[in-house]
Amino acid sequence: MSKVAIIGAGFVGSTCAYALFIEGSANEIALIDINKEKAKGEALDLVHGNLFTPYTKVTYGDSYTLCKNADIVVVTAGAHQKPGDTRLDLTKTNAKILKSIIEGITKYNKNCIILMVTNPLDVLTYLGLKWSKFPTNRVFGTGTTLDTARFRQLLGEYYNVNPTSVHAYILGEHGDSEFPVWSSANIAGIKLKDFKKYDKRKLNQLFKETKNAAYEILNRKGSTYYAIGLVVRDIVRDILQNQHKIYPISCHVDNYYGVKNICLSIPCVLTKKGVKERIHLHLDKNEQKQLRKSASIIKRVIKSVS
């Protein structure tokens, strides 16, 4: 029997629950929110669809007791990013919220995997790891998985291929200092620069669109939640099924191209035990420089709230 607890029943949390529910990814989904009525409303709306999906038990409430026996706890609660804000602007408010959440989780469950979704993702993943005192394989964030998906979608449109056939990563901070790994980006094993359609200026523009995608959505509809819900569904499902799939998640790194004691996104193998392996992807000198820049920015923010 598998159980997933989701903390925060707002747009992101409820969409994660819905994505997991319609696929039947877990036997039980627990929705936890400070607003118990909101959690109840979301839970009722889900269970009314059980006739049309693989059966899933849905529980709800405002107590962290619902984290008991959860295999994975997904943290989505926090202040919302407003138009004009960067993800790092949210740090102090969401760090305070996270500390109480971690205390609640660890009081009732010391064996779960904690999957961070709340922004600023890398900073909060590091703090969640520190405050939980869990091993580094069991606390990580969605990282640049969504950024990578956006990037592959845009590259797929440009080269007129399905994005699943595009192999290219966005790494580093889930935020303004993220960077594309151009040196290994390819389609069917062919480097992007070897295609006739290669245009460096156009590709750089596609990366810029990738980096600004969240802000563009925020300015139009106020928040982003559909795609991140699918990201969480896939990560959770593949952990529960022990799939050994690779995701660019935000995890603790120690001596990755000289970057130490920080959480940022690199490719990792995920299993039922969490992070099994950190993939040492080849980065050229410029990409290594950008990785270190991302790390220094995240460290500076962590220091400001510690």
Query: Is 177 found in the same domain as 137?
Result: no
Domain boundary pick from 118, 141, 164 = 141
Residue 63 sits in the same domain as residue 186: no
Average pLDDT, integer, range 250-271: 98
90: confidence class by pLDDT, cuts 50, 70, 90 = confident
- Say which CATH number the domain at 299 has: 3.90.110.10
Find the angle CA(223)-CA(141)-CA(7) to the nearest 5 degrees: 65
Both 154 and 286 in a single domain?
A: yes
> Nearest to residue 88, comparing CAs of 64, 122, 60, 111?
122
Query: Is position 174 annotated as part of the catalytic site?
Result: yes
pLDDT of 71 over the 90 cut: yes
Per DSSP, the three-state class of 209 is helix
Tell whether 85 and 213 lie within a shared domain.
no
Predicted TM-score of the model (pTM): 0.96
- Per-residue pLDDT band for 86 (boundaries 50, 70, 90) equals low
**Residue 288 confidence (pLDDT) above 80:** yes
Same domain flag for 215 and 252 = yes
User: What is the average pLDDT across 119-139?
Assistant: 98
Helix (H, G, I), strand (E, B) or coil at 119: coil
How would you list the strands of the sheet with 186-187, edge to edge? Answer: 166-167, 186-187, 190-191
Give the total number of structural domains in the chain.
2
Kindly state the average pLDDT of the residues 24-47. Answer: 98
Q: Based on the domain organization, do 21 and 113 belong to the same domain?
A: yes
Report residue 83's pLDDT band, with 50, 70 and 90 as the boundaries.
Answer: low
Lowest mean pLDDT of 17-26, 32-41, 46-55, 213-222, name the range.
213-222
Average per-residue pLDDT in the chain?
A: 96
Q: C-alpha 56: how far from its chain's center?
A: 23
Tell me the mean pLDDT in the region 34-52.
98
Give me the catalytic one of 48, 80, 167, 174: 174
CATH number, domain of 78, equals 3.40.50.720
pLDDT at residue 197 is higher than 90:
no
Same structural domain, 40 and 132: yes
C-alpha to C-alpha distance for 263 and 148, rounded to whole angstroms: 17
Residue 290: is its pLDDT beyond 80?
A: yes
- pLDDT-based confidence at residue 74 (cuts at 50, 70, 90): very high
Q: pLDDT value at position 305?
A: 86
**Co-location of 107 and 156 in the same domain:** no
Angle of helix 91-108 relative to helix 285-305, nearest 10 degrees, comes to 80
pLDDT at position 88: 65
**Residue where a domain terminates, one of 141, 166, 196:** 141
Q: Does residue 185 sit in the same domain as residue 285?
A: yes
The predicted pLDDT at position 4 comes to 99
Distance separating alpha carbons of residues 273 and 244, to the nearest angstrom: 10
User: Tell me, what's the pLDDT at 81?
Assistant: 67
Question: Are both 120 and 196 inside the same structural domain?
Answer: no
What is the domain extent for residue 119?
A: 3-141
Q: Do residues 105 and 166 share a domain?
A: no
Q: What is the mean pLDDT of residues 269-291?
A: 98
Asked if 155 and 301 sit in the same domain, the reply is yes
